[in-house]
Amino acid sequence: MEPPWVGLGAAVWAEIAAGSAYTFPLYSPSLKSVLGFNQKQLTFLGVANDIGENVEILPVIACYKFPPRAVLLVGALASFLGYGVLYLSVSQTVQSLKMYI
């Protein structure tokens, strides 16, 4: 079994790889203009982004049951999927879902 700090290290690396902490301000104007979001919808999405950044305790708990490589792989796949859908929406490759807020 790995030392307790290994789980925290894997979670931090997954969060750094995702990059969500510093990239939301970069693509939020595109979300507002291309997808037609109003400021309330954009703020709601920003809050959801912040909440998602702060649930890093889940990978730490998962690292006690699974190897860190597996947790990093799941984190990388989730980031790829999330940013992939965001890119396809902003580039108007796919028709995006409307947010009803």
**21-27, long-range: CB < 8 A, 24+ apart:** 21/53, 24/49, 27/86, 27/90
Higher pLDDT, 98 or 60: 60
Place of tokens 């979670």: 11
Q: Where are the domains of the chain?
A: 4-90
**pLDDT of amino acid 59:** 72
Q: Which tens digit of pLDDT belongs to each residue from 46-87?
A: 787 777 777 767 777 787 888 878 887 887 888 788 778 777
Place of tokens 């890119």: 87
pLDDT at 101 over 70: no
Tell me the C-alpha distance between 51 and 55, whole Å. 7
Q: Which tens digit of pLDDT belongs to each residue from 26-51?
A: 778 877 887 788 888 888 877 877 77
Q: Has this prediction a pTM greater than 0.85?
A: no
